[in-house]
Each structure stands twice: as structure tokens, then as C-alpha cells.
Structure 1
């Protein structure tokens, strides 16, 4: 047993010798590694570099912590309101802001209003509004930050102008100031439109004001032939007050009017004066507009601004007995059936007044002028005797004798009301000169 044990013990001895030999080889490697590490760590350049890395990592963590903390603090203490340029309140806010902070900001943008009057004179006004950037001002004891951003890479497809956004920022406790601010901006915009007529045109799928609101034209300023004006005005007023009557009988609550006659007979002028009399606005749509489709027309007619007259001028230019030339088809993708469906189809809007004008009523398709699409047709021709007399006395009051002489001088002549108005404007406050040079009207 002892021998076996001795043999067993001896064998490991031999092996251990081998092990000792290998250990003897490995020990110098461990010592070399330890020495190399000691040499590296004792190098001052290494220590300095490692220290810089540590400081940089610490600063990065600290900066991220500050950013996260600032973000959390901002979310808890501040509130923001975003107004995109596509929203209706965008222009309201710009007008309001121009009165609140334009005098206290250093970065301004100009808004130019240009208007040419009937007598040929031109008036231009310049409005200053805060330009793109950050602006700070105090309103009702509350500090507000206004950031106006313009994205040059994005365009508003409806207007072709750069996409803009206004962001308002204030303390969370003062968030109610946003509602008060927008309400005041709306009141200011409405106040500027009082006594004026807003002209809307289509920008893509929506209606937008075209230029500044115009002073309402008085109904008395347009002189039509005997009875024409009264018939139209009475019919429109009766329609406006008959909503319940239409609904009770299941009749679509909309009405169409067609004014036809030679150019310069006062069709557009009368519609403008009618809108002023009713305190309505006017939405003008050109059916030959490039890119106009059936769906877009239906959408526009279904979303006419409240208290507005829809005006389709020179409707014969878009469709003449359903014959569309290649050029017309290139200009507009609107179809005749699309127009008819928009006027009185299943999806057409209610509570709508549509006026159409044309110089060539014979070119219109019977399907367009039937009742339900056009309910009232009125002819506005060249100036009649009553119109000539009335226009002369409107420009030159208390001159009935000269009015009769002027009327006799035009006996047998055909002249438009637009030509008469131009003649009287040219000889403003000079009735004798207007009579003396009456032949200018047909030269």
C-alpha cells in the first residue's frame, strides 16, 4: 500500500518537475507585463491624457443632465402655441402684432398695399410687422416670446409662398392669455372690415382675401334701367329671409342669377354694390383657371365664406355649348358636367347665392340656364334714356336742363354706361365741357 502510495506520489513529482519548469518560464512574462503597465501608468503624458478623457466624459454627462433638466423644467413651467401660415388666424395675429410690438422690435418686415382708384390715381401704404426671428414684448402684464420662422425649403402649395410658423411662448400659469390674444386679434380684423367689402379669390382648395377690403359701394352709385335693380334686390332679400320656407318644403336652399349684356353695361359694378347693400362679401372664381378640377370646384362652392356672394364672371368663356378646345382643356381640367353637379348636384352646398355674368348669352348651353341652376335672368344693355339722365345728374347735381341737352345730343347713339362714367370722370365738375365734347363718346 505504501509502495503504491509512494509510486503515486513519485509520479506527480516528475510531473511537478515539469510543472515547475513551465512555471519557471511563465514568471518572467508576468513580471514583464507588470513592469510594462507600471511604466505606462508612470508616464506623465498618459496620466494627463487619461485625466482629460475623464474630465471630458464628466462634462458631457453634466451637459446632458443640464439639457434634460432644462427640458423638463421648460415643460413644467412654459407653454407654447403654434400658428401655421395656413391657419386663418395667422394674418389676424400679424396685424395685431404689428400694433403691439412693431415699435419695440429691431427686425421688421414690410407689407405694401397698392390700390388704383377709378379716376386713375394710385395710393400706396406701407405697414411694418415684426420679421422672422425672436421677439419679446409684454402684454397685459404677461411676457411673451414670439418666434416667427420661415422654412425656405418648404412651400405653401396653395399660395406659392414660403411656409411660415409663429410660435408663442409664455409661462404655463398664463396660458389663458393665448385665448384673449386671439380674440382681440379677431376683433381687430373684423373692425378693419366694417363698412367694407372683402374680395375673396381661390388659392388652391381654399378662399383667401385678395388685397385689402374695399370700401362698400353704394347701391345708388349704379344706375340701371327702370325696374331692373329693384327686381334683383327684392328677389335676393326675399331669398335670404326664406330659409325655413325652403327647408319645410325640401327645396335646396340656393339661388342662381344670370346677368347678361354687352361689355361695360354695369354687371360687375352692380354685383359689387349689391354686396355692399347687403353687407356681404364677394368670392370670385375664374372657371378658366389653370388646374381647376371638378373636385376642387365642388369643394370651393361647398366652402364659401359666410355672408358671401359667389361670382362666376364671363361664364361663356369657359363653356360654349359644351365645346372645349384643346387650349381650354390645357388651361382647365374642369368639365361641363362637373360644373353642373357643383351648382345643383347631390353634393352641392346649401345657403348659397351665385351670380354669373356673360356677354354672349346665346353661347350658353340650355342645361346651364335652366331653373335650379339659374333662377333669375336679367338683361343689362347699353345706356337707356333714363340711365343717361340719371348718371348725368349724379355727377352734376342740379343741372336738369343740361341733362336733357346731353340726352338729346346722344339721340340715336348707342353708348355703354362704362363709357359714360369715363366721360363724366374726365370732365369732373365741368358739365358744360362734358356737353360740349359729347362726341368723344363715339370717337
Structure 2
């Protein structure tokens, strides 16, 4: 007879203490009338809330002890420097020797567009990609840092209409000294990009901002003006810059206005640009026909010009028609003629300022605009004189036979021929602009440039 196997299931042996505790808890929950009424659940909720708040407070206290933050708002100059530094780091090659910062690529980008609208209808735009709102991370000199860019869209700057923005850097408290090094590096990078170059500023709301990339300085001798014209303007500007204390001792406002007038293409703007570069000055271009410009904005902008900058206002004869400011499409802005005059020379006008005005029609300017105190130096920049044409020809085609294929004597002979031709046309009442001559020389060879020059005269 076969034996039937018997399977036994082991019965878990519970610890007496555990069983007793579980039974007590079950009994307390089941038998306690207060707990069943909800007070017990409320007490548990309060306890969990207190525990949660304790964790939050402990975490915040720990962060305050271990972390340090630096806030930079968009009204501070370091704001633009740091954003430019961020863009430079993110666009740098992945492997660079002795690189101080390693960047974690971010998919949150923001574009800054600057548009220049010219009077002839053409325009140009410059795009700059920077880190957008959100969190970004990078490693700087061995220390991890968090960058948090925030934008307040509900609160706008009253005058410019741009939103308030802040950039907050966070790192370990032990690395707080790296903030200074980083900002210095960002500043040096910004200064390095502008060193030895000309920076063009344009009005952005109530602020001056650089437009585009810094430009190479144009040599002063590359702009050929009439005999002694460039020297007179340059000497007057230098004398003004050297007499700051002289103005202060006599209580005279330290500002000076220049008016360069003459036909189009004579080199007025080119000379101002070259003069600014020779003196290591920047240029602030002011458009009086800008929509939304008011007297208050005009006063603020002219009183807060960047240091070592010329203010350039071109074609001022077209800005005001019968003392009313109008644009080419007939739009009238809020800037009044009296407000413009007071901004140049009035109670609200700023100090330490050099303004250059240009016009093609000086006869259209109101006498109140060009009186002394508003315009202190007036100079005619005329069409090409015979000597100017000769000098420009020599600048283009001189330099030896290896460059032009002509000897120095051949270049001088052609230059004299050109001078005689320009003199003959000048005596006949015909003129040619320096811009037209320059364009003609660019397109053709020396001999042909002289032989066909007659077609340029009007």
C-alpha cells in the first residue's frame, strides 16, 4: 500500500510584542470615539504639515549657509556684459586650452534685434542670440554655478516700455569670490571687443545702446576735405577738450556745437566718423524723426550721453518744417522746436557735450537754431575742389609700380591732368562730389579714370 505524502504549511510565528502593539493600535482606532469623530485625522494632518514646514525651513536654512546668490538687473552695465560673456562661452569651441568656463548647452535662447532705418528707405538689422529666461548651468574655474534669468512681463519700464529683467547667479558660499572674477572677465571681454574700434550708439527708448559690432576706425587722412578745413575743425575740438577748467572757472556751460553744411556726398559724416576715431570717441546717432520721441525723452537722452561720445544729428533741416517736426510720411512727433532748442542750450540741457549737426541746406535752418551757444563752429564742406581731386587720386593710385603698374611720375602726371580738368569744369560752374569721384576711382583704372572723369560733372 502506497504512502500518501502529507504537505504542511508553516504557520508564521508572530512576535508577542508586535502582536500586542498592533492589537492596541487597532483597538485605539476602532474604540476611540474622538479619533472616529475626525480629531485624530486632523491631528495627523497637522503633524504632517508641521513636519513638511520643518523640512522646508531646514532646507532654506541650509541653502542660506551653503549657497550665495548675486542679482544683476538690466539697469546695470554689468547686465549686458554678462549676457555677452554667456553668448561668447556658449558659442566657443568645445575644447579650448586653458578655458575658464565649461558651458552646458541650453535650448532656451532669446534674440535681441537692433534695426537701423535710414532716410533713403534702406535698413539693416543685427541679431544677437543670448540665453533666454530660465535656468542655465555652467562650471567656472572648477565651481558649478546656476544662472537664472527672470523677466517680469507684468511690470514694464515706464519710459522705454521694456520689461524688467534680472539675472541671478548662485554658487557655493565658499566660491563667492569667483563672482568678482567673472564680472571682471565679462567687462574685459566687452572692452576688448571695443578696444581700438569705433562704437556707434543709437537711442533705445530712454537709453543709449551700441548698434551692431564695433567698427574699425577710419584714418582721418582718408577723408579728403578742402585746404585747411579738417585742420580747423580738429584743432577747435582739441582746444575745447583741453579747456574744461577754463569753462568751469568762468561759469560757462561746458558744451560745444558744430554745424557742417554742404552738398550731399561731400564727406560731412565720414569726417565726423574719422574725427571721433582719431580722438578715441564714440558716436551717438540721434534721429529727431523717431516716432514716440518727446521733449522729456530728448532732454533725458541728451543729458545721459555715454562718456567720450559725439552726438550726431544728420539733416537737421529736414527734421522741422516751419518749427514743427515732421517725417517723410508726414507724421508729426511730440518733440517741439522750442523743446529741441532748450535741449541744445537751455536750463534742461546737459553738460560736457559735443554735438555735430549736418545739413545740405543751411538756408533752411531757423536762425534761432544756429545762433552762438547752440552752434559755436560752422564750416562749409563743399564739393570737390581741384586740389581735393588730385589728393584723392594720389591716395587711390599712389604707392609704387608694384601696386598700380604705374611709376610715381606717371601717377603725378595723371593727377595733374585730373586737377586741370576739375579746375576747368569748376570755372565753368560745374561740380562733382567727393563721393562720386571715390566711386569712379573704385570702378576703373588710373588712365581710364582720368579720361572718363568728365561724365561726373553736373
Equivalent in the alignment of 1:146: 147
- Candidates 59, 65, 68, aligned match of 2:57: 68
- Helix, strand or coil for the counterpart of 2:369? helix
Equivalent in the alignment of 1:423: 440
Equivalent in the alignment of 1:202: 203
In 2 relative to 1, CA 151–325 (structure 1 residues): closer, same or farther, beyond 3 Å? closer
Q: Aligned runs of 1:51-130 on 2, under 5 Å?
A: 58-100=47-89, 102=91, 103=94, 104-107=103-106, 109=109, 129-130=130-131
Q: How many residues align?
A: 396
Equivalent in the alignment of 2:319: 318
Q: Aligned runs of 1:137-286 on 2, under 5 Å?
A: 137-150=138-151, 164-286=165-287
Q: Normalising by structure 2, report the TM-score.
A: 0.77
Q: State the alpha-carbon separation in 2 of the partners of residues 402 and 268 from structure 1.
A: 29
Equivalent in the alignment of 1:432: 447
Q: Aligned runs of 1:353-372 on 2, under 5 Å?
A: 353-372=354-373
Equivalent in the alignment of 1:407: 419
Q: Is the 8 A contact 1:197 1:213 kept in 2?
A: yes
Q: State the alpha-carbon separation in 1 of the partners of residues 163 and 414 from structure 2.
A: 58
Q: Is the 8 A contact 1:205 1:296 kept in 2?
A: yes
Q: Normalising by structure 1, report the TM-score.
A: 0.79
- Helix, strand or coil for the counterpart of 1:245? helix
Q: Aligned runs of 1:264-343 on 2, under 5 Å?
A: 264-323=265-324, 330-343=331-344
1:113 Cα offset (Å): 9.8
Q: Is the 8 A contact 2:319 2:326 kept in 1?
A: no
Give the gaps of 5 or more residues in structure 1.
1-37, 117-122
Q: 405-414 or 192-201, which moves further after superposition?
A: 405-414
1:352 Cα offset (Å): 1.1
- Helix, strand or coil for the counterpart of 1:369? coil
Q: State the alpha-carbon separation in 1 of the partners of residues 131 and 141 from structure 2.
A: 19
1:251 Cα offset (Å): 1.4
Q: State the alpha-carbon separation in 1 of the partners of residues 443 and 159 from structure 2.
A: 41
Greater helix proportion:
1
- Helix, strand or coil for the counterpart of 2:168? strand
Q: State the alpha-carbon separation in 2 of the partners of residues 233 and 106 from structure 1.
A: 49
1:245-267 superposed Cα distances (whole Å, 9 cap, x missing partner): 11112211111110001111111
Q: State the alpha-carbon separation in 1 of the partners of residues 126 and 338 from structure 2.
A: 44
In 2 relative to 1, CA 210–363 (structure 1 residues): closer, same or farther, beyond 3 Å? same
Q: State the alpha-carbon separation in 2 of the partners of residues 105 and 228 from structure 1.
A: 56
Q: State the alpha-carbon separation in 2 of the partners of residues 415 and 422 from structure 1.
A: 12
Q: State the alpha-carbon separation in 2 of the partners of residues 439 and 125 from structure 1.
A: 40
Q: State the alpha-carbon separation in 2 of the partners of residues 281 and 298 from structure 1.
A: 20
Q: State the alpha-carbon separation in 2 of the partners of residues 326 and 138 from structure 1.
A: 51
- Coordinate RMSD, CA, aligned: 3.4
Q: 179-188 or 219-228, which moves further after superposition?
A: 179-188
1:66 Cα offset (Å): 1.3
In 2 relative to 1, CA 126–243 (structure 1 residues): closer, same or farther, beyond 3 Å? closer
Q: 125-134 or 347-356, which moves further after superposition?
A: 125-134
Q: Is the 8 A contact 1:201 1:210 kept in 2?
A: yes
Q: Is the 8 A contact 1:107 1:132 kept in 2?
A: no
Q: State the alpha-carbon separation in 2 of the partners of residues 151 and 320 from structure 1.
A: 41
Give the gaps of 5 or more residues in structure 2.
1-26, 95-102, 117-123, 399-407
Q: 104-113 or 301-310, which moves further after superposition?
A: 104-113
Larger radius of gyration: 1
Q: State the alpha-carbon separation in 2 of the partners of residues 250 and 177 from structure 1.
A: 46
In 2 relative to 1, CA 115–420 (structure 1 residues): closer, same or farther, beyond 3 Å? farther
Q: Is the 8 A contact 2:223 2:271 kept in 1?
A: yes
